Amino acid sequence: MVLFWPIQQELDCINASGDILGKIKFDASTDKHFFCPLDESVSLSSEEEMSIAQRLAGLDSGQHVIAMQDDD
């Protein structure tokens, strides 16, 4: 299980143990979302990879959105 938590215009990807795996960010030049791992040496389980891939597809299709944060 991966929890997706909005931070500014990104999503933190947090595993069941509470560890931050990385962030989902948006690349305006390609109009796509991508996963940026926090640490390249950490390997993701197949379940975590699938969950992140599903969230990326949902963000790119408009099924999911990253909540906007109002800092005012």
Q: What are the tens digits of pLDDT across the range 43-63?
A: 899 999 999 999 999 999 999
- Is residue 68 assigned to a domain? no
- Is residue 42 assigned to a domain? yes
- Is residue 66 assigned to a domain? no
- Is residue 72 assigned to a domain? no
- Please determine, for residue 7, whether its predicted confidence score (pLDDT) is greater than 80: no
Q: What gap in Å lies between CA 15 and CA 25, rounded to an integer?
A: 17
Q: What gap in Å lies between CA 21 and CA 12, rounded to an integer?
A: 8
- Is residue 14 assigned to a domain? yes
The residue range of the domain holding 48 is: 2-61
- Is residue 70 assigned to a domain? no
**What amino acid is encoded at 13 in this protein?**
C
Name the band, by pLDDT with cuts 50, 70 and 90, for residue 3.
confident
More confident residue, 71 or 44: 44
Instruction: Quote the pLDDT of residue 45.
Output: 93
| Total domains, the chain | 1
- Is residue 9 assigned to a domain? yes
pLDDT, tens digit, 9 for 90 and up, residues 9-35 = 789 999 999 989 999 998 888 989 999
Q: What gap in Å lies between CA 2 and CA 69, rounded to an integer?
A: 21
